[in-house]
Amino acid sequence: MRLRQTGILLFTGLCFALVIFGVWRWSYVNALGQLERQGSASLSLASDRLVGLLERYRILPVALARDDIFVSALQRGNIGAALTERLQSLADMIGAQHILLADANGNIVAGSLRLEGKTFIPKSVAERPDFLRAMNGALGFYHAQQQESSPRGFMFASAIRNNTGEILGALIINNDLEALEFHWRGDSETIFFSDQNNVIFVTNRDSLILRVLGNPTANTIAELYQNRYTSDQLQKLPDPQETVRFGRTFWDLSGVTGVQGTALLIDQPLPVIGLDAHILVNMAPVATLAKSRALLSAALLAMFVMLLWSLQMRRQALADQLVIRKDANAELEQRVQQRTAQLSDANLSLQQAQHDLVQAGKLAALGEMSAGISHELNQPLSAIQSFSENATILLERGQISQTKDNLVRIAVLTGRMSRIIKNLRSFARKEGEVAIDVNLCQVVDDTLEIARTSISKGNVTVHWLRPKNDIMVRGGPVRLQQVLLNLVSNAIDAMEGMVQKTINIQIRSESSSVLLVVHDSGPGLETPEKIFDPFYTTKSVNHPQGMGLGLSISYGIVQSFGGNISGQNHPQGGAIFTVRLDASILEKTPT
C-alpha cells in the first residue's frame, strides 16, 4: 500500500514537472513570436524612415541638373564665383552636405564647399559608381566616408544634358547620414544597416559605426580603406556568439559597448538604397515572461493539489449526505414525473380547448349569419317555385322556348344555392393542423360569398382588388376564412350608424411573404395595443357579439401558420388590419 502511494506521488510529480516545462516552452515560443513580429515592425519602420529620408534627396539632382547655369558652365567653362554661390545656395536650401559639379571625364569643376574645413572634396569621381551610372543616363547613388574628419555621406548623381540630349557631366548631391541617424538614437533596439562589403554604415549605436561583419582578411580591410572608407574605426566586429533556437537566429554581442546581451537577429534587404537592414531585439522580456508563467503554473498546480487534498478530506463527510440526498432525489424525481404527466395532460386539454374554441367561434359566426343565410336560400327557392310553375303552364301552351328559359334560370339559381351550402359546409367543418398551399384569392371570394347577406344588410360597399393571378400561401382554407370573416364582421359592426361604409380588401406580395390587408372607413381603434387580448371588446355588454374572442382566436390561427396579424389606425381614418403569411413554395420558386 505504501509502495503504491509512493508510485502515485512520483507519477504525479513527474506530470506536474512536464506541465510546468510545457507551460514554460509554450510561453517562451509564444512570446518569442510576438517579439519577432514587434522587431520586424520596428525594423520595417526604421527602414522606411531611412529610405523615406533618402527619397527626399533622390529626385533633387534630377530636378537641379536642368539649371541653365550648370549647362553653361560645362559647355563654355563659365566657372566662377556665381556658380559657387549658386551651389552654396542650393546646398543650404535643401540641407545637403555639399553639391559637386563634374564634367564628362569625372573631374570636379565646382562645388558648394560650405564645409571646406571639415569636408573632403575629391578632384575626380571618374571611377565612382554613382558617376558612372549617371553618365549612362540613370540616377546614380553611392555611400562613403571620404576622409577621417568627414561625415558619412550618401550621394545621388544625375546627368547634365544640353539641348540635344548630349551628356555634358553630372551633378552630385552629398547628404549627411549622421544627421539622419539622429532620429534613432533613443530607440531601445539595436538597429544597423550594412552594405555589400558587410560594413555597418548606418546605425543607432556609435560602437557599431563602420564595423565589418564576418571575417575579413587584412588585405580586404586595406582594400575597403582604399576604395570607400578612410576611418580608423573600420575594423572587424567581434564574433557574436550565434545560436539557432526555434528556427530563429540569436546573437550575443555583450563585448560591444551599448549593445545588449543575447538578442534576436532580424534581417531585411533594402535593394533600393543598396543596404541590408538588421535589428537586435532584447530577449530579456521573453525569458522573464516564460519564467513568470512557469512559476504561476507551479503555484496553480500547488493550489490544485491542496484543493484535491481538501476534497478528499470532505469526501467521507459528504458520503452520508449523498445517501440522504439520493433518497430525496428519488422522491423528487417521482414527484417531477407525476407533475410532468399532469402538465402534459393539461397541455393536451388546453390544446383541445383551443381547437374547440376555434370551432365554436366558427359555429357562432354561422349562428349569427343564420337569418341572412335563410334569406339567401329562401329567395332562390321562391324563384325556383315560381319558374317551375310558369314552365308547366308554358309547356302546356306549347311555348318551348320560354319553357327552356325558365329551366335555365332554375339551373342558375340551383347552382347559387349549391355554392352557398358548399361554402357553409366547408366553413363549419374541422380542419387539420398541418399548413398546406392555399389559394388566398379563393379564400377571399368564398368569405365574401358567406358574408354577402351581412354586407348587404349593413349597406356596406366592399372594394375587393382581386389580383389577376392566384396568390398561393401556406395555411388552411377554412381557418383563413374564419380570420377574414371575423375581420369583415368586425368592420361591419364598427361602421354601424355611419353614412359612408366601405371595406377595402387587397393582397400584396413582399419577398417571401404575402400581405392580406383589410381597411374599413369606421371610427378606428380606441386601444390598438389591446385588440388581440382575450375578452377585450368595445361592444356593449348586451351585444350578441360582445365576447371579445374573435380577434384573439384569429391571432392564434395566423400564428399557427407561422405568420402574424397586426391592427392599427389608418392615417386617413378607419382601422387597417394586416395579415402576413408565408408565400407558398411554388410562389417562391422562380419560373
The domain spans of the chain are: 60-180, 369-429, 434-588
* Unique residue bearing C-alpha cell 531585411: 268
Q: What is the pLDDT of residue 516?
A: 93
Q: How many CB atoms lie within 10 A of CB 69?
A: 14
Q: How many CB atoms lie within 10 A of CB 555?
A: 19
Q: How many CB atoms lie within 10 A of CB 540?
A: 7
Q: What is the pLDDT of residue 517?
A: 93
- For 173-184, the pLDDT digits (tens) are 888 777 667 666
**For residue 334, how far is the Cα from the chain centroid?**
50
Q: How many CB atoms lie within 10 A of CB 584?
A: 21
Nearest to 145 by CA among 229, 208, 233, 232: 229
Nearest to 36 by CA among 240, 313, 283: 283
DSSP three-state, residue 312: helix
pTM: 0.44
Structure letter (DSSP) for residue 166: -
Outline where DSSP puts E strands in 163-274. Answer: 167-176, 190-194, 200-203, 211-212, 235-236, 243-245, 248-252, 262-270
**Cβ distance 108 to 100 under 8 Å?**
yes
pLDDT truncated to tens, each residue of the chain (591 aa)? 567 767 777 777 777 777 777 777 777 778 777 877 888 888 888 888 888 777 777 788 888 888 888 888 888 877 777 788 888 888 888 878 788 888 888 888 888 864 444 455 677 788 888 888 888 888 888 777 766 666 777 888 989 988 888 888 898 888 877 766 766 666 677 888 888 777 887 887 777 777 777 665 545 555 554 456 655 556 666 667 767 777 777 777 766 666 667 778 888 888 878 888 888 887 777 777 777 777 877 777 778 778 877 777 777 777 777 778 787 788 888 888 888 877 777 767 666 655 655 555 555 555 555 545 554 565 566 556 666 766 777 777 777 777 777 676 677 657 656 656 665 555 555 555 677 888 999 888 888 877 777 788 888 899 999 998 989 998 888 778 878 888 888 888 888 888 888 999 999 988 889 999 999 988 888 888 777 776 666 665 445 455 556 777 778 788 888 889 988 998 888 899 999 999 887 655 444
Q: How many CB atoms lie within 10 A of CB 59?
A: 12
Grid cell of 387 as nine digits:
319558374
Q: What is the pLDDT of residue 446?
A: 81
Beta pairing partners, 140: 157
Q: Please provide the average confidence, as pLDDT, over all residues in the chain.
A: 76
What ranges in 429-476 are assigned the alpha helix state H? 440-450, 452-457
Class of domain 60-180: alpha beta
- For 115-152, the pLDDT digits (tens) are 444 455 677 788 888 888 888 888 888 777 766 666 77
Q: What is the 3-state secondary structure (H, E, C) of 373-395?
A: HHHHHHHHHHHHHHHHHHHHHHH
Class of domain 434-588: alpha beta
Q: What is the pLDDT of residue 579?
A: 92
DSSP three-state, residue 101: strand
Q: How far apart, in Å, are the Cα atoms of 473 and each of 255, 379, 442, 535? A: 86, 35, 11, 29
Q: What is the pLDDT of residue 541?
A: 45
Q: What is the pLDDT of residue 371?
A: 47
Q: What is the pLDDT of residue 117?
A: 46
Q: What is the pLDDT of residue 420?
A: 61
